[in-house]
Amino acid sequence: MELKVIENATCTFCGCVCDDIELHADDMRIHQAKKACILGKSWFLNHTAEKKYPDALIDGQPASLDDAIEVAANYLYDADMPLVYGMSNTTCEAQKECVAMADLLGALLDSHTSL
């Protein structure tokens, strides 16, 4: 099968964020990550497009995304002092949404930096 080649892909494993990686991928997984270091290779090769996990879990039981979003929103809204934390392995666009949500909630907002 012909592999799709993505040139100058960006690796977000460590803070170097190397943007010169050549990825060879099919629909399911990345087969090669040229120029990536040992950490980057395992980062790219160990993520697949498989459906390994349920869309969502509520109290440990598989659930639909819509239900999970509703339940999550209720927990956050009902809390007196909610906390929004993490934001390392995600995009700036998602981080922006997190800040907006924390603002709406009057929440605590923190990242890995403080650890």
Partner 1 sequence: MGGKVTCTLGEVKQRADFIVYWGGNPAECHPRHFTKYTLMQKSKFLPRGRKDRTVVLVDIRETKSAKAADHFLQVRPGKDFELLTIMRAMIKGQDVPEAQVAETGISIEVLRDLIEKMKKAKYGVMFFGMGLSMTRGKHMNAAALLTFAAEMNAFTKFVAMPMRGHGNVTGADVIMRWQTGYPFGISLNRGYPRYNPGEFSTVDVLVRGDTDCAFIIGADPGATMPKPAIDHLAKVPTIVLDPHVTHTSRLSRVHITTAPAGIAAPGTGYRMDEVPMPLKPALNSPYPSDEEVVRRIKEVIATKPDWMTNQPQMIESQV
* Footprint on residues 18-47 left by partner 1 (CB under 8 A): 18-19, 23, 25, 27-30, 37-40, 43-44, 47
Please tell me the distance from the alpha carbon of residue 87 to that of residue 94, in angstroms, as a whole number: 8
Please tell me the distance from the alpha carbon of residue 74 to that of residue 105, in angstroms, as a whole number: 11
What 3-state DSSP class applies to 41?
A: helix
- Write phi, then psi, for 106 (nearest 5 degrees): 65, 45
Please tell me the distance from the alpha carbon of residue 86 to that of residue 92, in angstroms, as a whole number: 12
Rounded to the nearest whole angstrom, what is the least distance from the CB of residue 2 to partner 1 in the complex? 14
Which one of 2, 16, 34, 42 is in contact with partner 1 (CB under 8 A)?
A: 16
Q: Which CB atom, from 2 or from 80, has the smaller least distance to partner 1?
A: 80
Segment 85 to 104, residues that bind partner 1, using CB under 8 A? 85-104
Segment 67 to 86, residues that bind partner 1, using CB under 8 A? 68-73, 75-86
Q: Per CB under 8 A, does 17 bind partner 1? A: yes
